[in-house]
Each structure stands twice: as C-alpha cells, then as structure tokens.
A = this chain, B = another copy of it.
Amino acid sequence: MNSNTVKPVRGRPKTLDRDHVLDVAMDSYWKDNIGNLSLNEICRRSGVSKPGLYREFSNEDGLMKAVLIRYQEQVLEPVQQMLNSDVPFKEALDNLISFATSVSCHDESPNGCLFIKMRESRVHLGKETQAQIDFLEKQGLVFFKKWVERSKTKGEFSVDMSSEFAATYIDAQLSNASTQLARGVAPETVKKILLVAFSVLE
C-alpha cells in the first residue's frame, strides 16, 4: 500500500516521503496533545519543509484527516475485525479491554487512543477532520451495536439493555479508559475499572 502512487511523469522527482511524514505526524499527535502541536514542529520532526508539507496535504486540516485515516487503518480496523469474528462475547470483551489498556510500549509519555483524543478536541479542529471524526464515531457505534446484536442471538448477551445503548455504554467506557491512560493513570488501574464497568454486561 504505497501511497506514492506510481506516477513517474515529467518534472523534478519527488523526494517527500508521504508515509514517513504521516508516521511522524501520527506519533506526534498521539503523544502530545493535538492542540499543542504545531505544523512547524511536525515539519521539524519529519525533516520536511513547510511548503512541502502543504503541497502534500493542502493544510493542517488535510494532514490531520490523513493521519486519522491512517490511524483507522492501522489501529482501529484490526479491533473491528476482531469484533466481526465469531469470538464469544466475553472473550471479545476481554480482548477489547486488553487492546484499550495496552500502552504502545515505546517511550514514557502518556498514551490512549488517538481517535478519542481527537474526538475530545473536535471543536477546535478543521472541517475535514471533524467530518472524519464523525464518520469514525458513527462507524464505531455501528460495529459495537452489530456485535451486541449478534451476541444476543447467540445467547451470549442476556442483559436487559438495548443494543443501541450497550454500544453507547461500551464506547463511553473505552473513551474513559483512553482519557485516563492519557492522563497517566496506571494501565492496571484502568484495566480494573474497565473490568468492573463491563461486569454489568454479563
């Protein structure tokens, strides 16, 4: 999946590595708070000139949207696939907890889910990014809902609760976990909280 679509046309050959810039930007937005990270800093970290970055992503909004799409593909999609598989409900729930509380190893800085972080600062982001956030949110809720519905038919989810609300509740608790991790709360603590919060679903 090389994003430098094969197009050896005419002029000066392109040296800007789109994937590399996206990697750096994703990592940066992830670790630092989105609102406190400038384009200048991303240029500095990725070794790209500012006009180069603007040529590739139009503006800050475009970069953020691209980062968000990349995050969806690389991080969120595997989880959604897991939910789509035929793993028993309780096991899938455990997987979800493991995923949510697994700190991305490298570095000491705080973490959590980039999507949720961006969703929290939604108001201050560009329109394209906002639209992408809204899309991902809706999509995520649909995944959760379908998962719960399937689990109900399989008899693995028997609590008296609408699938719609169950999805909202799961989303809320995962968001909470992300926020706490970002704040620096110990992953084991977050895990225990999630376990208790999800115990109402069994």
Contact = CB atoms under 8 A, between A and B. Distances in A.
B179 A196 contact: no
Interface of A: 33, 35-36, 110, 119-124, 161, 165, 168-169, 172-173, 175-176, 179-180, 182-183, 189, 192-193, 196-197, 199-200
A172 B172 CA distance: 11
A36 B36 CA distance: 9
Nearest to A34: B35
29 contacts: A33-B121, A33-B123, A33-B124, A35-B35, A35-B36, A36-B124, A110-B123, A119-B183, A120-B179, A120-B183, A122-B183, A168-B189, A168-B193, A169-B193, A169-B196, A169-B197, A172-B176, A172-B180, A173-B176, A173-B197, A175-B179, A175-B180, A176-B176, A176-B179, A179-B179, A196-B200, A197-B200, A199-B200, A200-B200
How many copies of this chain does the complex contain?
A: 2
Main secondary structure of the interface of A (DSSP, over half): helix
A9 B63 CA distance: 58
Given A33-B121, A169-B193, A196-B200, 8 more contacts: A33-B124, A35-B36, A120-B179, A120-B182, A169-B197, A172-B193, A199-B200, A200-B200
Nearest to A172: B193
A127 to B, nearest CB: 16
Given A36-B35, A36-B124, A124-B36, A165 B179 contact: no
